[in-house]
Amino acid sequence: MPANTVKLEPKNRLSAADWEQAALDTLAESGLAAVAVEALARQLGVTKGSFYWHFATREALIQASLERWEHSDEMEVLAPIEAVADPRERVRELIRQVSHRRPSHAVFAALLKSVDLPLIRPFIERVSQRRIDFVTEAFHQAGFDATTAANRARLAYSAYVGFIQLAQVGQPRMSHDEFEAYIRDFIEILIPH
């Protein structure tokens, strides 16, 4: 057998990053309450003893996981769209992007439900502020005055937040085509030609 097994054998021997990823997965799937040390341990095939070696406390895990999520979220969503020159088209592209990439929103939707916790709140505040500022800036560049741009951004972001909440209820019971039509109307209403 070849020696030099640098990073093989992902079977046993976990790292902190493994725990963080598992935490984000179950957070997205089952909510913050499901991010429990013993549950994650079972899910990873180990016991609590492993966890408390990598992290001091449950909150430390959540904190680290969310910092990871916040960073990747910013890099993967907003950053690529900043390149779009025309501000109107930039917002349109943003709407299309977020409307066609569900998995990332699951974490945000889960966090939204635990926003009353002091541990979670700052994350919601920061990412929301960044996103609203992003859209506000685009609307401003598109010719709207400051307050109108801000209000339109607020409306757009509120509609986004509300939608991902209602989507879990299956409330806007729409087919794929109906959803696409909704997105088109969404854009049409918020970004007049």
* Chain residues that interact with a copy of itself, rule: CB under 8 A: 30-31, 112-116, 121, 124-125, 128-129, 132, 147-148, 151-152, 154-155, 157-163, 165-166, 168-172, 178, 181-182, 185-186, 189-190
Per DSSP, the residues of 95-132 read: HHHHHT--HHHHHHHHHHHTTTSTTTHHHHHHHHHHHH
At closest approach, how far in Å is the CB of 52 from DNA? 4
Applying CB under 7 A, among 17, 52, 122, 125 the residue interacting with DNA is 52
Kindly compute the dihedral angle of the four CA atoms of residues 5, 11, 14, 17, in this order, to the nearest 10 degrees: 90
Nearer to a copy of itself (CB atom), residue 46 or residue 142: 142
Q: How far apart are CA 154 and CA 161, in angstroms?
A: 10
Considering only the stretches 52-60, 85-93, 106-114, 130-138, report the one whose residues sit in contact with DNA under the rule CB under 7 A: 52-60
Report the nearest approach of DNA to the CB of residue 57 (Å).
4
Binding mask 3-32 for DNA (x = CB under 7 A): --x------xxxx-----------------
Question: 158 φ, ψ to 5°?
Answer: -60, -40
The 8-class DSSP code of residue 14 comes to -
Nearest to 180 by CA among 99, 105, 102: 99
- Residue 116's binding partner out of a copy of itself, DNA, none, with CB under 5 to 8 Å set by partner kind: a copy of itself
- DSSP, res 193: -
- The smaller minimum CB distance to DNA, of residues 49 and 118, is found at 49
Closest CB to a copy of itself among 51 and 186? 186
Contact 19, 44 (CB under 8 A): yes
Per DSSP, helices labelled H in the chain are 16-30, 37-44, 48-54, 58-73, 79-81, 87-99, 103-113, 121-141, 146-169, 176-190
Radius of gyration of the chain from its Cα atoms, rounded to whole angstroms: 20
Nearer to a copy of itself, 51 or 139 (CB): 139
Q: Which of 26, 50, 65, 114 binds DNA (CB under 7 A)?
A: 50
Binding positions for DNA, rule: CB under 7 A: 5, 12-15, 36-39, 41, 45-50, 52-54, 56-59
